[in-house]
Structure 1
């Protein structure tokens, strides 16, 4: 496959960091191919890093080191037989979010009642990662039902943000984002139905790619068939410390799986992926004031794109607030037929308060209203498709404010409405099933800042190419320097 994202420079061991866990996924795969290091040696380096920082951060909540070492040894054996690696992630440590299936392990999704829900087989995305010869070195924490923007719960507790214990680690892929940000893995798997990849990426200072709904197969043997709206708005994708590693994660997660009826065999690569295009700069969002730090990040990203030949113009995509309302109408209506009752059974005050606040913010719709919401979603998708033909890239906030403190979703219903408005760029993109990527751009008062890019359906490589332009000029911080002391 032709690579449209500029590949990392070829690196040798004498220019790589001394600590293997600091290496990029691309460097790890390269050095394993060269025979400079074994898969087992790589994995052991990451295990040592986990032992140092995870007791404090609580990002990885389940490990099977015997299994992972066995998998690494098997890959080393294959390498001795044939040094030409078949898998693009041979020997690269990855983590898997706790809401997808791994054979022989419980898919708890952060819910105590699901502790014995052992998966009979791997989910599709796990199968694909294994085929890419990645080594799975842990399962990452989620809030109950993977529902909040705050990763904490009764089963595994709170996952801390490495930049500040006072602010959220994001959710629901908070454990995933912290694990990759701090060097516990090279690539993390995440899922996203309202920002659950992009928001944790933002608050922890890493790259987070939400793919188009249907791009990566999402079948899970332990999970009942999802309702129509939820499956059409959810997506999976990689979290990584660089755009190049996110690209590798995307390529590894792709692959056909007929068990997922919503999977789409769409073209990945287009001739114009790396060509500069017209960009819509969206620095005003309905019903909320975008913070100065975010506006500055948007301006910096826009300047980088202009320097690279992109044409950047202020423009407003259709009805962001209406997209959010449609998400609420569909997602919360469907949740009333399953998740909300299960939430009550957990007895956990935080998830109960958060879900009830979100439900109270949503329009109360009957069957007719739900059907109309589905139809209106299609109309909004058409309008956004037209907008994205005129502006193939949207440059917009990931979230409109700096990272939120813990408990920001546990106040009053009015406070939840305000939070939903702050997160509306996340929700609107998910509501339409579009791909989006968070790109770190720098730091403000010791916390990460960044921007979101959005493209037409199934144009993930265009997103990655554009993100790489911003990344080259960014002065983002790195949580690899986190110490648990």
Structure 2
């Protein structure tokens, strides 16, 4: 693993006198620092988060499985290690986090929101979970997802609906909805998420937190309960941290990226580059073909652009290369793979919403044969080349996360025309995932009581460039938090 990155925006040693009173309000970097300094014990940290979960999770339903006995044992072992061999403490030592229900945690069911998988117990940890444990993290719960982690709305027949802390009638996002809510409200300091069409960035957006989609291959993705991963998952799906700050996201990223030879797609790419802190040219995209960008999101984009410009970044308006074609390629590849099994699995569930959502997605996608599938893969290469040219001129692209404000529940359950319009509104998420690019969602405050955010995209394996720019925007904006949420 790379050495600790010490950019000027990364605060790792904040004084305990400046921290909020309740431990669960502390950021992950502060928890890790205070634990290392022995100012607070891992057991004390865990107790504070358990109390917060008990206070609000019965209402929000973000964390749907806990093994508290295991978490307490982990905290006790972590404290013992600090007494006997403090030099062995990892970068997340004692930091409480949640893991999404679609990856394997040894001894727990990887249900992925499907009752048919309720007994699918993982024999060992997935790659990312093993890495988080090695870094000293304490896994305190599993975060809720939609069935198959395949909606922008988190609810399922096993565990029910996860509520958005800002407004209960608005989606909590998906598929990492439980993860984003648990972070936003202080039920954990960090959360693990996955993203094949916005499943990290969209929940981060609608809950007002930071969500980092890494480059596919950056975080090892082996899961013992998964027998095969189609091309779409290998090339487009990515894992990453959901956090309340860019510094916390970096800390989580560092823990996640350690090598695991069980994953054939992991890439031993360097994390740090000499120009990670450089102010570079930024392509501002505030018009998206095929849809309308809401005025509130345009305002947020220009506010983010102004913050970057004040820090020395050069902002120029630009157009996204063939974004509709990128979405078409995503649909031609991923939805063809979905037709190989997910649709029939959804049809077998007693959940009309997942059936309707998956069928709506499928009905909006072209039906292709083997040749069409192969041509879509080839066309993806052409489109990525065009985006490479854009990223060669503009190392960062600033664009919407979604072109709409956070959506009400069931926005994917209407007519096919409504679903097509929703997909077009989500095209900045889908297109960048289709091309395997990293992206980060950055909160930009509230508009009419709803969170608003922007997305930054960079070239492959340039996550630190994204985190640096996100921290610039974060310092400018600030002041938005769901930590004051109270149930009832």
Alignment TM class, shorter chain as reference: over 0.9
Aligned residues: 485
SS at match of 1:442: strand
Aligned partner of 1:229 in structure 2 is 232
Distance verdict in 2 for CA 1:253–1:164, change over 3 Å: same
Aligned partner of 1:89 in structure 2 is 92
SS at match of 1:453: strand
Displacement of 1:259 after TM fit? 1.1
Aligned partner of 1:202 in structure 2 is 205
Aligned partner of 1:295 in structure 2 is 298
Aligned partner of 1:55 in structure 2 is 58
Selected match of 1:398 from 387, 395, 401: 401
Aligned partner of 2:25 in structure 1 is 22
8 Å CA contact retained: 2:12, 2:30 = no
Distance verdict in 2 for CA 1:160–1:450, change over 3 Å: same
8 Å CA contact retained: 2:297, 2:454 = yes
Displacement of 1:12 after TM fit? 2.4
* Structure 1 CA distance for aligned equivalents of residues 161 and 140 of structure 2: 20
Query: Could you state the TM-score of these two structures normalised by the residue count of structure 2?
Result: 0.98
Pick which of 265-274 and 10-19 moved more.
Answer: 10-19
* Structure 1 CA distance for aligned equivalents of residues 346 and 227 of structure 2: 17
Deviation beyond 4 Å, 4+ runs, structure 1: none
Aligned partner of 2:134 in structure 1 is 131
Displacement of 1:230 after TM fit? 2.4
SS at match of 1:27: helix
The aligned runs of 1:2-401 (5 Å cut-off) are: 2-4=5-7, 6-8=9-11, 10-84=13-87, 86-401=89-404
Displacement of 1:13 after TM fit? 2.2
Q: Which runs of 5+ in 1 are unaligned?
A: none
8 Å CA contact retained: 1:5, 1:465 = no
8 Å CA contact retained: 1:111, 1:154 = yes
8 Å CA contact retained: 1:205, 1:476 = no
* Structure 2 CA distance for aligned equivalents of residues 31 and 76 of structure 1: 12
RMSD: 0.9
SS at match of 2:50: helix
Deviations 1:256-315 (A, max 9, x none): 111111111111100000100000000000111100100000000000011000000001
Distance verdict in 2 for CA 1:63–1:88, change over 3 Å: same
Aligned partner of 2:480 in structure 1 is 477
* Structure 2 CA distance for aligned equivalents of residues 259 and 218 of structure 1: 9
8 Å CA contact retained: 1:214, 1:263 = yes
* Structure 1 CA distance for aligned equivalents of residues 453 and 409 of structure 2: 20
Displacement of 1:385 after TM fit? 1.0
Pick which of 269-278 and 77-86 moved more.
Answer: 77-86
8 Å CA contact retained: 1:33, 1:85 = no
Aligned partner of 1:456 in structure 2 is 459
SS at match of 1:218: coil
* Structure 2 CA distance for aligned equivalents of residues 261 and 348 of structure 1: 35
Displacement of 1:476 after TM fit? 4.5
Displacement of 1:345 after TM fit? 1.1
* Structure 1 CA distance for aligned equivalents of residues 255 and 480 of structure 2: 26
SS at match of 1:481: coil
SS at match of 1:409: coil
* Structure 2 CA distance for aligned equivalents of residues 231 and 350 of structure 1: 27
8 Å CA contact retained: 1:441, 1:476 = no
